[in-house]
Structures are given as C-alpha cells and as structure tokens.
Amino acid sequence: MKALILIADGFDDLQFFCPYYRLLEEGVSVTIASPRGDNAVGLRGYPIEADTSISAVDPAEYDLLVIPGGQSPERLRLREEAIGIARAFIDEGRPVAAIGHGPQLLISAGSMDGKQATSAPDIRDDLRAGGAIYHNKAIIRDGSLLTGRSSEDLPQFCRQLVSFLAAR
C-alpha cells in the first residue's frame, strides 16, 4: 500500500508526524509531497524534506491521501495541482484522511457536498458552505473519507486510519 501526504509551510507538526509514523508502523510506503518538492517547515519550526513536488505526483499511484492541518491546507488550496490530487481521490472513492484544517483543500476541490465531516472548529462554517454536514466530534468516517477535529483527537484519528487501511 502507498500513501501520499501533502504538506506546505505551516503544517501542524503533530498532525503530520502521528499519522506518518503510524502508517510506517503498518508497513505503508509513504511519499511526502510539497509545492516545490523541497523543505516545508511546520508550525513549530520543524523542517520536513519532501520526496517530490506536488506537480510531479500521479494520484493513480497512491492508495491513500493524508492532509494534515495547520496553515498548510490554506496554502495548498491555492495550488491547482493540489486541488486536482484531492479531487481525483474523492471522485474515485479512494481513501482520504484529513485532520484539523485539512478539509480546506477538499472544500476547494468541491468534494464535500453531502459528506459527513468534522474539522477544526474555526473552519466549520467553511465546511458547511462547501456542502458538508458538520459534526463537532473527534472523528467522522463517511465512506472513503476520514476527518479529524484536532491534535487532541489524534489517538482516535490514527486508530481509525489503521482500521480504514485494513478495510481496503
């Protein structure tokens, strides 16, 4: 199994590292993509070296998309290639896991209409405006979409992420 994690500067460090290491523990091959394929720096100043640029990604090569929160999704949603990747996963019914502000990218992809979802509370109105049915819960799974509310919910998010993989 292959997973793709999309990040840009300002990603939430915990929301990146917890799912990243949990996927590696499960034997998943993880590729990190950033806008230019170079370092992205997290909210707490930790740099991550990407494996590739977002424009070089072929979404068909991956089984799972992970979108950590923080300021990164706001930056990613300004890049048409990142929107295209998110749209491809959702439209094809392939697993997508987004936590915190991560669903912002999915909103820009026009992929939230009618979906049950959660997110960081400060973007709940964005989710609703994007057509999602917002729930203030730790995690929500709606078909191939897994959303998480915040870093405090990472234990449940990562547990469900592993369960999500096992169901594939």
pLDDT band at 165 (very low <50, low <70, confident <90, very high): confident
Spatial CB neighbours of 41, under 8 Å, sequence gap ≥ 6: 9, 10, 47, 48
Known catalytic residue: 101? yes
- What are the residue boundaries of the structural domains of the chain, listed by start? 2-166
On whether the pTM is more than 0.85, the answer is yes
Judge whether residue 168 has pLDDT over 70. Answer: no
Sign of CA dihedral 164, 58, 112, 103: positive
22, 75, 77, 101: the catalytic one is 101
Q: Which CATH code fits 2-166?
A: 3.40.50.880
Judge whether residue 97 has pLDDT over 70. Answer: yes
With tokens 């740099």, the residue in question is 47
Q: What pLDDT, on a 0 to 100 scale, did the predictor assign at position 164? A: 81
Which residue from 86, 90, 65, 91 is spatially nearest to 76, judged by alpha carbons?
A: 86
pLDDT one-digit tens code per residue, 124-147: 999 999 999 999 999 999 999 999
